[in-house]
């Protein structure tokens, strides 16, 4: 029976393969990857906020079990995948509406789980000004003077253009955006629906906003209970007016100035004529007095007795000792000369400040209320030297922690800036002699610079970026040796054997595009395993292998990127092997034997050559890898072994070379950059460089993020390798699947 996946999503195909594995399809190597164990809470979409918008608008998706990793989350608007996921938490995703999106349901994929929104997300055209909608308001109930937030669409961006009513009463609009309004509940408002009018367009809410009657005026506490003239007194209670001028506050018979007001809190200044007494608050016709009295005490005299130093460097700590400082940072101002400085710690008798950039000299002055104290001494400030002395480590990839050692740094994280070859990095910790950062996305090999207070210091050595994260593969990896990749010219190519799809990678645009579908051969409907792929004279050749039904394939196909067409060529005499291309011809070593065949693309013929020099099982089910350097071919790391063999087509001879130094491989990957080969991964984390000139191996930085995967794909463009995809075991009959793509520069 013919089965085809040509019109199914990858998720459908993946579920099908999991079901096949559950009913049994042979030994363990034939099983499809089992997904990771699901969370106890199912993946759900609860709401889209808002439920309409334009391309590039940010929306929020609320629900459950989203995780924390943006790399594991995919969002699609009516089958158009969104690239700009802003943030992810377990219950909330922020994502931008992608170009090309149309009205429809929103699809969410987290790891292997997929859900769809119950509601459709409506796409508005950029010129759409005809629709005004009220989708929600918050809170659902409130009192006069409260702030009400209205969510919807078509509100515009001008307060003057918007009219909001609760019932028939106009509310004051204080903030406007296209999708949100903030208004003040007006005095005469009653419980009713909320309406919004923009020009001639108008819409009303489905539900009503409940207006809660004003609370009875009362005072619950005074803080502090004592104070001096000019001090701030906080009055807490209920029923206060939110407008300062609508509250009349007295201490005894003396009016106090209100500096801030809310429905439950007033802040006032103790006036000069004040005497100890009760506090009264009058709002409208209501008036209330405090139960306790506020005690007015004589102010403490403010003075400076000593400074910890007078010859200072920018960024130094200065300790000021004296009297009358108080303990409220919001009430004190400290200056050096005419420059205001920040107080980082204080008590009644001690202040600690950090000397900022730009100060050269001056006396220290302190101002609290109407009192001012000035130091007798004058301090002088000089600029510190800035120097990077060491990077640890000196190489890495995106997300790696790097410690920069030196001098002249600022102890405040925000006062330093670090760049990796011009790309700004995130600082996690800073001291005057050490800055800890993480390597930023998009960074390439180059100098590290630190910028502090307008000064710049550059590292002596380069920081080498060995791996750079790129856009994901357009399909998931697989543990069963199915997908393949190759290079033609300045483009990379990857074959998804599940869907029989070919994709082209553009390194300049960092994007994938779909090309001509891969032929399904003589047994359509089944994905091919252990295929052989090579490139000869700017054309790709692919074929051979077997499938889950144990059907064997002998077919051989030519792909021409210039025409984007596949053409069937002469069948191979066998179905399994590993190969390479040298001097315009392809060579394949047959699995289970020592036989080697040469393919001539001009004559379209297969010719048997000198038998392979190593063991006959070096390519059992594709467990070895082949590559070519200049005019020689190589087979390496076969069937868990370490042998390396070189083939010279000019003499038709095999020569054993220095063994691969790593542990045995399971479907390793290999690629060639600047006449050196790179072999590894394949069930282990390491990667090794082989130099044919010296017949020696040298270890390289491993592929990031659990590199001990098998069946990784790789291709090379302009002396840079692109590696990723594949799968790694995560339990019994369970595999973790990868889509990632990393760029490697030796």
Predicted confidence (pLDDT) per residue in 415-443, tens digit:
999 999 999 999 999 998 999 999 999 88
Q: Residue 174: is its pLDDT beyond 90?
A: yes
Q: Please, which residues bridge with residue 152 across strands?
A: 134
Average pLDDT estimate for 302-307: 91
Confidence of residue 221 (pLDDT cuts 50, 70, 90): very high
Model-level pTM?
0.51
706-717 confidence digits (pLDDT tens): 667 888 999 999
Average pLDDT estimate for 79-102: 90
Peptide bond preceding 224 in cis form (omega within 30 of 0) = yes
**% of residues, the chain, pLDDT over 70:** 91
Q: Residue 1: is its pLDDT beyond 70?
A: no
Q: What is the pLDDT of residue 26?
A: 36
114-142 confidence digits (pLDDT tens): 999 998 988 876 545 557 889 899 999 88
Mean pLDDT (the chain) is 87
Confidence of residue 571 (pLDDT cuts 50, 70, 90): very high
Q: Residue 40: is its pLDDT beyond 80?
A: no
Question: By C-alpha distance, which of 482, 523, 466, 489 is closest to 702?
Answer: 466
Q: What is the pLDDT of residue 522?
A: 64
Which residues have CB under 8 Å from 148's CB, separation 6+? Answer: 137, 138, 139, 142, 166, 171, 182, 183, 184, 185, 194, 209
Average pLDDT estimate for 541-552: 85
Confidence of residue 86 (pLDDT cuts 50, 70, 90): confident
Angstrom CA distances, 230 to 101, 269, 271, 296, 409, stand at 60, 6, 6, 11, 40
Question: By C-alpha distance, which of 745, 703, 698 is closest to 728?
Answer: 703
489-528 confidence digits (pLDDT tens): 999 999 998 888 999 999 999 999 999 999 877 666 567 8
Q: Please, what are the domains in the chain?
A: 44-123 (2.60.40.10), 133-212 (2.60.40.10), 218-296 (2.60.40.10), 303-382 (2.60.40.10), 387-461 (2.60.40.10), 471-744 (2.120.10.80)
Q: Residue 542: is its pLDDT beyond 90?
A: yes
Least confident range from 2-11, 332-341, 363-372: namely: 2-11
CB-neighbour burial class of residue 20 (10 A; exposed 0-12, middle 13-18, buried 19+): middle
Q: Residue 618: is its pLDDT beyond 60?
A: no
152-170 confidence digits (pLDDT tens): 888 888 888 899 999 999 9
Q: What is the pLDDT of residue 381?
A: 87
Q: Residue 73: is its pLDDT beyond 50?
A: yes
**% of residues, the chain, pLDDT over 90:** 56
Transcribe 582-638 into DSSP letters: ETTEEEEEETTS--EEEEETTTTEEEEESPPSS-TTTTGGG-SEEEEETTEEEEES-
355-400 confidence digits (pLDDT tens): 887 788 889 999 988 789 999 999 998 877 899 999 999 999 989 9
Q: Residue 9: is its pLDDT beyond 60?
A: no
Confidence of residue 10 (pLDDT cuts 50, 70, 90): very low
Q: What is the pLDDT of residue 548?
A: 75
Cα distance between residue 236 and residue 138, in whole Å: 25
Q: Residue 20: is its pLDDT beyond 70?
A: no
Q: Which residue has the higher pLDDT, 745 or 31?
A: 745
Average pLDDT estimate for 399-407: 94
Around Cβ 605, how many Cβ atoms within 10 Å? 12
Q: Residue 598: is its pLDDT beyond 90?
A: yes
Q: Please, which residues bridge with residue 286 across strands?
A: 283
Confidence of residue 36 (pLDDT cuts 50, 70, 90): very low
Q: Is 25 helix (H, G, I), strand (E, B) or coil?
A: coil
Distance of CA 612 to the CA centre of its chain: 48
Question: Do 227 and 270 form a contact (C-beta atoms < 8 A)?
Answer: yes
447-492 confidence digits (pLDDT tens): 999 999 788 999 999 999 999 999 999 999 887 778 999 999 999 9
Q: Residue 445: is its pLDDT beyond 80?
A: yes
Q: Residue 551: is its pLDDT beyond 60?
A: yes
Cα distance between residue 385 and residue 561, in whole Å: 57
Q: Residue 6: is its pLDDT beyond 50?
A: no
Confidence of residue 3 (pLDDT cuts 50, 70, 90): very low
Which residues have CB under 8 Å from 569's CB, separation 6+? Answer: 541, 556, 557, 558, 601, 604
Cα distance between residue 309 and residue 355, in whole Å: 11
* Phi-psi group of 372: left, alpha or beta (phi > 0 → left; psi -120 to 50 → alpha; rest → beta): beta
Residue with tokens 């076969």: 638
Question: Do 582 and 568 form a contact (C-beta atoms < 8 A)?
Answer: no
């Amino acid at each position: 029976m013919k089965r085809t996946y040509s019109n199914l999503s990858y998720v459908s195909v993946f579920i099908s393969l999991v079901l096949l594995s559950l009913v049994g399809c042979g030994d363990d190597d034939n099983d499809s990857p089992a997904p990771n164990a699901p969370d106890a809470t199912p993946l759900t979409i609860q709401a889209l906020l808002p439920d309409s918008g334009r391309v590039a608008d940010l929306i929020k998706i609320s629900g459950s079990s989203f995780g924390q990793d943006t790399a594991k989350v995919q969002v699609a608007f009516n089958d158009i995948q969104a690239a700009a996921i802003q943030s992810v938490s377990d219950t909330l995703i922020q994502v931008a509406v992608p170009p090309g999106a149309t009205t429809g349901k929103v699809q969410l994929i987290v790891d292997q789980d997929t859900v769809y929104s119950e509601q459709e997300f409506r796409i508005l055209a950029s010129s759409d000004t005809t629709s005004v909608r009220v989708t929600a308001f918050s809170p659902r109930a409130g009192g006069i003077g409260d702030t009400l937030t209205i969510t919807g669409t078509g509100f515009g961006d001008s307060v003057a253009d918007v009219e909001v009513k609760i019932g028939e009463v106009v509310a004051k609009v204080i903030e406007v955006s296209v999708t949100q309004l903030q208004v003040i509940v007006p005095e005469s408002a009653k419980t009713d629906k909320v309406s919004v009018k923009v020009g001639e367009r108008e819409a009303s809410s489905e539900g009503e906003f409940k207006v809660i009657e004003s609370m009875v005026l009362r005072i619950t506490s005074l803080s502090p209970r004592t104070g001096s003239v000019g001090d701030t007194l906080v009055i807490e209670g209920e029923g206060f007016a939110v407008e300062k001028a609508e509250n009349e506050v007295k201490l005894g018979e003396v009016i106090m100035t209100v500096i801030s007001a809310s429905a439950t809190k007033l802040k006032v200044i103790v006036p000069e004529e004040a005497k100890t007494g009760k506090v009264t608050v009058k709002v409208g016709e209501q008036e209330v007095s405090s139960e306790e009295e506020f005690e007015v005490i004589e102010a403490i005299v403010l003075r400076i007795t000593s400074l910890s130093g007078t010859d200072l460097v920018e960024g130094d700590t200065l300790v000021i000792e004296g009297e009358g400082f108080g303990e409220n940072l919001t009430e004190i101002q400290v200056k050096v000369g005419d420059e205001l400085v920040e107080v980082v710690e204080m008590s009644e008798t001690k202040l600690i400040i950090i000397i900022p950039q730009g100060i050269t000299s001056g006396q220290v002055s302190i101002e609290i209320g109407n009192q001012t104290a000035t130091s007798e001494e004058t301090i002088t400030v000089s600029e510190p030297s800035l120097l990077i002395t060491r990077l640890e480590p000196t190489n890495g990839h995106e997300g790696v922690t790097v410690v920069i050692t030196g001098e002249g740094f600022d102890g405040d994280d925000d006062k330093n800036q670090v760049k990796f070859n011009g790309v700004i990095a995130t600082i996690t910790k800073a001291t005057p002699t050490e800055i800890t950062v993480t390597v930023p996305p998009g960074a390439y090999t180059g100098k590290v610079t630190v910028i502090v207070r307008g000064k710049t210091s550059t590292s002596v050595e380069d920081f080498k970026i060995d791996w750079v994260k790129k856009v994901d593969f357009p399909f998931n990896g697989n543990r069963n040796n199915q997908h393949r990749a190759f290079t033609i010219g300045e483009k990379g190519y990857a074959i998804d054997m599940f869907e029989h799809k070919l994709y082209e990678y553009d390194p300049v645009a960092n994007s994938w595009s779909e090309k001509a579908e891969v032929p399904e051969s003589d047994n359509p409907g089944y994905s091919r395993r252990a295929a052989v792929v090579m490139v000869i004279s700017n054309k790709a050749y692919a074929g051979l292998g077997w499938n889950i039904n144990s059907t064997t394939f002998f077919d051989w196909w030519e792909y021409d990127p210039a025409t984007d067409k596949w053409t069937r060529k002469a069948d191979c005499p066998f179905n399994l092997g590993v190969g390479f291309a040298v001097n315009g011809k392809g060579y394949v070593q047959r699995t289970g034997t020592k036989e080697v065949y040469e393919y001539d693309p001009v004559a379209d013929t297969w010719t048997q050559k000198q038998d392979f020099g190593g063991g006959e099982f070096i390519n059992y089910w594709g467990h070895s890898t082949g590559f070519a350097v200049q005019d020689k071919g190589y087979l390496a790391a076969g069937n868990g072994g370490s042998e390396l063999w070189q083939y010279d087509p000019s003499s038709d001879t095999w020569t054993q070379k220095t063994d691969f130094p790593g542990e045995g491989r399971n479907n390793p990957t290999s690629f060639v950059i600047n006449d050196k080969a790179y072999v590894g991964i394949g069930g282990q984390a390491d990667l090794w460089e082989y130099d044919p000139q010296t017949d020696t191996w040298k270890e390289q930085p491993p592929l990031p993020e659990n590199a001990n995967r098998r069946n990784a794909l790789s291709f090379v463009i302009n002396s840079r390798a692109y590696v990723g995809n594949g799968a790694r075991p995560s339990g019994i009959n369970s595999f973790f699947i990868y889509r990632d793509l990393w760029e490697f520069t030796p």
